[in-house]
Amino acid sequence: MTGNFRLPSGGRIDRNRPLGFTFNGRLYRGFAGDSLASALLANGVTLVGRSFKYHRPRGIFASGAEEPNALVQLETGAHTVPNAKATQVELYEGLVARSQNCWPTVEHDFGQVADLCAKILPAGFYYKTFMWPSSFWMKYEYFIRRAAGLGRAPESPDPDRYDKMHVHCDVLVAGGGPAGLAAALAASRSGARVILADEQGEFGGSLLGRRDVIDDLPGAEWAARMAAEIAENPEVRVLRRATVFGYYDHNFLGIVERKTDHLGPNGGQGMVRERLWKVRAKQVVLATGSIERPLVFADNDRPGVMLADAARSYANRFGTRPGSRAVVFTNNDGAYGAAIDLADAGIPIAAIVDLRADVQGPLPTKARERGIEVLAGHAIAATLGSKRVQAVEVMLLNPEGDKVHGTPRRIECDLVAVSGGWSPTVHLFSQSGGKLRYCDQRLCFVPERSKQVERSAGACNGSFGLADCLDEGYAAGAAAAVAVGFEAPPRAFSADQPGETAPRALWVVPGKAPVGHSKAKHFVDLANDVTAADVRLAAREGYRSVEHTKRYTTLGMGPDQGKTSNVAGLAILAESLGKPIPEVGTTTFRPPYTPVTYGALAGSDVGDLSDVDRTTPIHDWHVMAAAEFEPVGQWLRARHYPKAGEDMEAAVQRECKAVRQSLGIMDASTLGKIELRGPDAVKLLNMVYTNAWDNLAVGRSRYGLMLGEDGMVFDDGVTTRLGENHYYMTTTTGGAAQVFGWIEEWLQCEWLDWRVWATSVTEQWATIALAGPRARDLMHELCKDIDLSPAAFPHMAMRSGRVAGLPARVFRVSFSGELGFEVSVPSSSGLALWIACMMAGAKYGIAPYGTEALHVLRAEKGFIIVGQEADGTATPIDLGMDWIVGKKKPDFLGKRSLARSDMVRRDRKQLVGLLTKDPNIVLPEGAQIVDRILPKPPMKMVGHVTSSYWSGALGRSIALALVSGGHKRHGQTVQLPLEDRVVEAVIGSPVFYDPEGKRLHA
């Protein structure tokens, strides 16, 4: 059924700006100012989707964020958005949308057979049916996922830009309806820094859809004027299309602002699509309004059944007839206002069916005066029609509210405007930790006690009348301003509100047959197809907690998060358990209030901004040399430098050979560097390192191992004495921040009176390692003011001088086992030094080597790497480094732990070398070691391989391993069961190359 359902005049649409759009492949027209939902209704499109489980026809049910039915797949390709609520999509030229949960079409949906099989799809159906056989779950899931009613995520990268913005304010006002505008007015007039955010494109909230009058102005007009006044204030930030979605600790709130969605996928060229605002507010005013609840009655899901206030909003705000003839079904006075507005818009009201036997208030009186028939004490017992409601059957309701009786009266209608009362939108309040109270008079949860610095005002506080909203809003805004030292002027605007009589609590409206005993379904949750019978079944099956019931029935777990269904579901559970509602409690509200895109959460941290890549001063050279990089912490380090035609293995072997036979050069700038100054520096070194530091001479270096208090090695490095009370410590690349933090923590928290300053200088120095038998030859050429002879400048010494004309600190250290110098120059000169070395070293065949070659070279020497051999469970003793543990030192960090009973066990895993019997097999790192092979696992594991390489220098494979009791097992053979074979290896010393260290001291 399509046609023109646009009212001849009225509404906040711009009839001079027609917009074309496509829904399910058909072209339609709407106007600027329409939502997709209002434009569809104006074209007579009432069937928009199929329900989640039963594939029943569904129409537009609401007009805002609470919409449970009208979820569409918006746009196509990379721009596609699943589960877009048609009620929240602002219409733009060329919009393309599709129904989601239907195949082949929404009109002829194959999945509808599910409705015929409803008996086998009760609450907990999945849990009951698909758990056997358990290995089949994956197969079931494949089909369930496809049958379930959700949209498809885009499959190509997101072409849009997103970002984030931190913002601080005195007062944040969440919601731009009457209460929020009043609050923002008060706060902004006081001079405070204010943020006003509303999820819609236009301020006014409920005023946009109703015909209220404030200060003799139409409500929407008043809202526009006030919003303009507020926005003029330079200290106020006004955010439209901005949903306050999360309320976190200490008044930290998240807002997602949709900046371009209303312009269409290509409308916001270059602009940020969504911005995530991270707000720290001194004061918060919540003015989030309320959400109308439906009534739970038989077949209350047919297209044409709609919330009363939504129907009224479609008429008033969008100039659209949501139907041609309406029946209003209510338990409260508010729906009478909707009925009057619909009647005034030219939609005949066939009847108002009111569950209350006695209907008196001013609004009902007004409706009766208009000649609208009011059927008090009646209920809709059935709805008729399939893809659109065609009629309802109305029957008398007994005083207890559990039965209908009498002769059903059939009333023709294509719109059932339903109201079950209002639920304050307490989501943000509840997220903030505030405590809710159930109000028996208003039949809803209202804020009771705040936990954070926040005030709820207006409908979200349970004050539904317009005058009350303005009152509370302004008062809350003014109070918030006062609390942060500002003064708001008194309020000078007002509105009237009609008095209302109490609603009737009737959570399940009886149908012709008992609930759950006929084909009629009483839906509680339209989004997830949860019925009153499902909730009652859960209660009968023993569910007591609302949290468990929710998960078992999936009540409130759909994309709408139960905005229209939670209270009714809870009430039905309470009724079934025979308890009052407050005793059953309410479910927890968690962020986000409405879905937030991953794009907004990621912001600009994507692509080459997804992480920090720290680069050394020499980085550009490595790039030009076509180095392959590997991340070490956040650093990018050159892993190897492949020449044309080389793979990694070949490049690494060539680089190793250069170091062993001639000269290699490495960028070691990433090493952590810390300067220690003060009379207690040596005391500090004695505490953080295992060895003794008292007798280190100025100009000499020493290797140290650092332990945690648990006795485990966590870093190593060389420290040099630069002056009397001046030391220079180096750390591993990955451990730099940790070591600096470790030293600071001890100095600041434990040894407050020690006189030593620690300063990180990692980035001040570019460090180049020269290694190989020709290293001294090269140094001779570049450095004239240091005596480089072995006697004058021995291994583990440091000299200052000029290298290649640059002021340098030169260290004789080696991690490769060859003669080595490490030259540090100020970072700005690092590249110059590197180039000088490359040029002067050419005659020696100097080769840059990367981290991979370094690992091979050090493994040949049996040097550990923190993170591989020292994996956080190894003590110095385990690593065979007893020589570095100062036994005579009274104390150092971790010392006491080395004497714990567990640390002296003989079967601890200890570092050993491992040589495969077949020298050509390079073991995989991480391979498990066993003594005895069994036909299949489990086998007793006695250790694992920590490092494993092909050693060019030795012409065979080598490995390091941690093996239980390994130090006493040299010469023994162990087995390594790999995926495809078992390898035999022999335990031995971890030092494979130059065990006497002659080359090092050359």
Partner 1 sequence: MPEGYLRQSPLASLGLAARAATAADAAGVTMGERERVMLVNLRGDGVDRGFLDRVRQALEVDLPAEPNTAAEGTRHRVLWLGPNEWLVVAGEGEQLAAALDAALAGLHVSVTDISDARAVIALSGAQARDVLAKGCPLDLHPRSFGPMRCAQSRLAKVAVLIDQRDDAPSYDLYVLRSQARYLWRWLDDAAREYAVRIIRP
Partner 2 sequence: MLLITCPFCGPRDESEFACGGEAHIVRPADPAALTDAQWADYLFMRKNVKGVHFERWMHSHGCRRWFNAARDTVTHQFLAFYKMGEQAPDIAPVSYTARPAPRTDPALPADPALHTDREGAR
Question: Could you tell which of partner 2, partner 1, none binds residue 724, using a CB distance below 5 to 8 A set by kind?
Answer: none
Of the residues 407, 695, 901, 920, which one makes contact with partner 2 according to CB under 8 A: 901
Question: Residue 720 pairs with which residues in a beta bridge?
Answer: 701, 728
The piece of 293-301, 497-505, 555-563, 739-747 that touches partner 2 (CB under 8 A) is: 739-747
152 binding partner (options partner 1, partner 2, none; Cβ < 5 to 8 Å by kind): none
Residue with tokens 């405007």: 417
> Residue 826 touches which of partner 1, partner 2, none (CB < 5 to 8 A by kind)?
partner 1
Told to check if 585 binds partner 2 by CB under 8 A, we report yes
Of 256-264, 338-346, 769-777, 887-895, the window that binds partner 2 (rule: CB under 8 A) is 887-895
Instruction: Quote helix, strand, coil % in the chain, to nearest 5.
Output: 25, 30, 45
895 binds partner 2 (CB under 8 A): yes
897 lies in the site for partner 2, by CB under 8 A: yes
Residue from 748, 800, 873, 973 touching partner 2 (CB under 8 A): that is 748
């989004």: which residue's tokens?
Answer: 527
Say whether 904 sits in a helix, a strand or coil: helix
The verdict on 451 binding partner 2 (CB under 8 A) reads yes
Euclidean distance between CA atoms 956 and 946, whole angstroms: 17
Q: Where are the beta strands (DSSP E) in 320-466?
A: 326-330, 349-354, 374-376, 378-384, 391-397, 404-412, 415-419, 422-424, 435-439, 444-449, 454-456
Q: Is 250 in the site for partner 2 (CB under 8 A)?
A: yes
CA distance 604 to 587: 34
Bridge partners, residue 522, by sequence: 298
Question: Residue 227 region, left (φ>0) first, then alpha (ψ -120 to 50), else beta?
Answer: alpha
Distances 314 to 87, 205, 206, 940 between C-alpha atoms, Å: 10, 14, 12, 73
Question: Any idea which residue has 């209660």 for tokens?
Answer: 539
Smallest gap from Cβ 527 to partner 2, in A, equals: 25
Residue 545 interaction partner, one of partner 2, partner 1, none, beta carbon < 5-8 Å per kind? partner 2
- b or e along 304-322 (b: 16 or more beta carbons within 10 Å of the residue's beta carbon)? bbbbbbbbbbbbbbbbbbb
Question: How does 482-497 read in b/e, with b if 16+ C-beta sit within 10 Å?
Answer: bebebebeebeeebee
Among 29, 211, 280, 368, binds partner 2 (CB under 8 A): 280
Q: For residue 521, which of 535, 532, 536, 506 has the smallest C-alpha distance?
A: 532
| Spatial separation of the C-alpha atoms in residues 277 and 255, rounded to whole Å | 5
890 binds partner 2 (CB under 8 A): yes
Q: What is the rounded CA–CA span in Å between residue 899 and residue 589? A: 51
496 binds, among partner 2, partner 1, none (CB under 5 to 8 A by kind): none
For partner 1, the binding residues (CB under 8 A) are 163-168, 193, 270-272, 278, 280, 604-605, 608-609, 611-617, 620, 635, 675, 677-679, 755, 757, 759, 761-765, 805-807, 825-832
27 binds, among partner 2, partner 1, none (CB under 5 to 8 A by kind): none
- Nearer residue to partner 2 within complex by CB, 608 or 902: 902
Smallest separation (angstroms) from partner 1 to the CB of 416? 48
Residue 710 interacting with partner 2 (CB under 8 A): yes
Cβ(798)–Cβ(701) below 8 Å: yes
In the complex, the smallest distance separating the C-beta of residue 515 from partner 1, rounded to whole angstroms, is 53
137 binds partner 2 (CB under 8 A): no
φ, ψ for residue 843 (rounded to 5)?
A: -65, -20
Minimum CB–partner distance for residue 727 and partner 1 (Å): 11
Assess 750 for contact with partner 2 (CB under 8 A).
Answer: yes
Task: State in angstroms the smallest separation of the CB of 670 from partner 1.
Answer: 8
Q: What is the DSSP string of 105-132?
A: -SSSBGGGHHHHTGGG--TTHHHHHTTS
We find the least distance from the C-beta atom of residue 714 to partner 2, in angstroms, to be 14
Q: Of these partners, partner 2, partner 1, none, which one is at the site of residue 200 (CB under 5 to 8 Å by kind)?
A: none
Ramachandran region, residue 117 (left: φ > 0; alpha: ψ -120 to 50; beta: rest): alpha
Instruction: Build a one-symbol-per-residue string for 541-560: x at contacts with partner 2 by CB under 8 A, - elsewhere.
Output: -x-xx-x-------------
CA 138, CA 620: separation in Å to the nearest integer? 49
Kindly state whether residue 900 participates in binding partner 2, applying the rule CB under 8 A: yes
Q: Which is nearer to partner 2, 163 or 221 (CB)?
A: 163
User: Could you tell me which residues are beta bridge partners of residue 545?
Assistant: none
* 91 vs 320: CA distance, rounded Å: 14
Asked whether position 624 contacts partner 2 by CB under 8 A, the answer is: no
Select the residue interacting with partner 2 from 709, 724, 785, 918 (CB under 8 A): 709
Q: Does 908 bind partner 2 (CB under 8 A)?
A: no
With respect to partner 2, which residue has the nearer C-beta, 559 or 711?
711
Using rule CB under 8 A, residue 741 touches partner 2: yes
Name which position in 437, 896, 905, 968 contacts partner 2 (CB under 8 A): 896
Report in angstroms how near the CB of residue 93 gets to partner 1 at its nearest.
Answer: 24
Q: Is the dihedral of CA 375, 380, 382, 385 positive or negative?
A: positive
Q: Does the footprint of partner 2 cover residue 248 (CB under 8 A)?
A: yes
Contact between 759 and partner 2 by CB under 8 A: the answer reads no
Backbone dihedral region for residue 433 (phi beyond 0: left; psi -120 to 50: alpha; all else: beta)? left
Contact characters 506-545, partner 2, x per CB under 8 A: ------------------------------------x-xx
Q: Which of partner 1, partner 2, none does residue 891 bind (CB under 5 to 8 Å by kind)?
A: partner 2
Cβ closest to partner 2, residue 585 vs residue 592: 585
Nearer to partner 1, 611 or 902 (CB): 611
Amino acid present at 758:
A
814 binds, among partner 2, partner 1, none (CB under 5 to 8 A by kind): none
Minimum distance between the CB of residue 680 and partner 2, rounded to whole angstroms?
Answer: 16
End-to-end Cα separation, the chain, in angstroms: 95
Query: Out of 138, 492, 624, 749, which residue is the one contacting partner 2 (CB under 8 A)?
Result: 749
Contact 48, 72 (CB under 8 A): yes
Q: How far is the CB of 709 from partner 2 (least distance, A)?
A: 6
Task: Closer to partner 2 by CB, 541 or 918: give it.
Answer: 541
260 vs 947, beta carbon nearer partner 1: 260
Residue 82 binding partner per list partner 1, partner 2, none, with a CB distance cut-off of 5 to 8 Å that depends on partner kind: none
* Pairwise CA distance, residues 360 & 343, whole Å: 20
Least gap, CB of 721 to partner 1 (angstroms): 15
Reply yes or no: is the peptide bond before residue 133 cis, omega within 30 of 0: yes
According to the 3-state scheme, what is the secondary structure of 273-325?
EEEEEEEEEEEEEECCCEEECCCCCECCCCCCEEEHHHHHHHHHCCCECCCCC
SS3 460: helix
What, of partner 1, partner 2, none, does residue 827 touch, CB below 5 to 8 Å by kind? partner 1
Q: What letter would DSSP give residue 982?
A: E
Cβ proximity to partner 1: between 806 and 856 the closer is 806
User: Which residues of the chain form contacts with partner 2 (CB under 8 A)?
Assistant: 166, 248-252, 278, 280, 433, 451, 542, 544-545, 547, 583-585, 709-710, 741, 744-745, 748-750, 752, 890-891, 895-897, 899-901
